[in-house]
Amino acid sequence: VGEQSAKAGAPGDRTASSKRVTPASLDEAYDRFPRVETEFQAALDESLNPRGPDLLYELVATLGLEPGVTVLDLGCGEGKHAIKLARDFDFVVNGFDPVRRDIEVANAALTKSANESPQLRGLVSFQIAVAETIPLKDASVDLVWCREALYHFEDLEQSLSQCRRVLRPTGVMLLQHMFATPRLDERESLELWDNLHTVPANVDVAYVESAFGAAGFAIDQVIEHAGEWGEYAYERSGEPGRRLLHTARLLRDPQRYIARFGKVNYDIMLGDCLWHVYRMIGKLSGRVYVLKPSG
Ligand SMILES: C[S@@+](CC[C@H](N)C(=O)[O-])C[C@H]1O[C@@H](n2cnc3c(N)ncnc32)[C@H](O)[C@@H]1O
């Protein structure tokens, strides 16, 4: 797992490469550049070996947590990660999410997984709950796992304070999240976060880091994976390319899709596709934080 110092700059800050150098002449653009173009493209066809989402599990393996410790998967969605944490590490995992459908799907996934690995029945449970009021006792959790959920927490400071409250003094919070970068302009930002039902402040790295401090957390590690998960997915399945094509179709013929699926679903689909595209082009940048109680 590659690491960066906790004093990393703003997400997507690629100062050296973002300085504009205008071609000095027409010759430079149309004579010199074509001479390197093919070789340049061949270099770009080589993978930069992006890390994928498994980096979170690799990170968990370094935390020295024993089998049987208690984990909270906050905003667990359909339960895939809660089940994997129990299967791979023998943790006791509580998956919380406010959406009833997610909890139903998670329970169905648990039933299916438990057919092959019966011990999961005693290790994993799912429950409807929100981050703002976590229904667990003080100092009862060893790891809070929060992946791609921070977008939606209406009251970020209260949610993080709840995480701090339920963590044991020796506990760890592992938080993965995509942040807006300076490449995401205001109009794009408004449309994206509105479509995806996100609290816009929660994608601002300075705001989120100040909320960590206010809630009683210190940053132990920051890993900036930027757009790597997008590259990783593209190299394996081409999925981000598919989302780009879908974006083009959504934008070119909105009525076709609105008439069939409704405007709300159209907006969510557009937001979701743009999220994948923006992640590929540096308008969103991923980070993982390892947080520890500060005192
Ligand atoms: C993008 S999904 C991520 C799901 C899962 N963590 C994953 O990585 O696949 C975001 C999840 O956050 C949940 N969520 C929304 N508001 C929440 C809140 N206030 N407290 C906890 N979870 C919330 C949503 O219902 C949704 O399942």
Write out the chain's pLDDT in tens, 295 residues.
334 433 344 565 555 565 666 777 888 888 899 999 999 999 999 999 999 999 999 999 999 999 999 999 999 999 999 999 999 999 999 999 999 999 999 999 999 999 999 999 999 999 999 999 999 999 999 999 999 999 999 999 999 999 999 999 999 999 999 999 999 999 999 989 998 989 999 999 999 999 999 999 999 999 999 999 999 999 999 999 999 999 999 999 999 999 999 999 999 999 999 999 999 999 999 999 999 999 7
Q: Whose CA is nearest to atom 9 of ligand 1?
A: 77
CA 77–ligand 1 middle distance (angstroms): 5
Q: Which atom of ligand 1 is nearest to the CA of 130?
A: 20
β-pairing, 92-97 vs 124-128, is parallel
CA 238–ligand 1 middle distance (angstroms): 25
Q: Whose CA is nearest to atom 16 of ligand 1?
A: 152
CA 232–ligand 1 middle distance (angstroms): 22
Q: How far apart are CA 28 and CA 185, in angstroms?
A: 30
Tell me which H or E stretch contains 192. helix 186-195
Question: Which residue out of 57, 85, 99 has the highest number of ligand 1 atoms within 8 Å of its CB and is therefore the one to mutate?
Answer: 99
Per-residue CA distances from 115 to 34, 143, 192 (Å): 59, 26, 40
With 0-12 CB in 10 A as exposed, 13-18 as middle and 19+ as buried, what is 41? Answer: exposed
Tell me 31's DSSP state.
I
Look at residue 66 and give its three-state secondary structure.
Answer: coil
Q: How far apart are CA 281 and CA 183, in angstroms?
A: 9
Residues with CB under 6 A from ligand 1: 74-77, 81, 97-99, 102, 130-132, 147-149, 152-153
CA 80: distance to chain centroid? 14
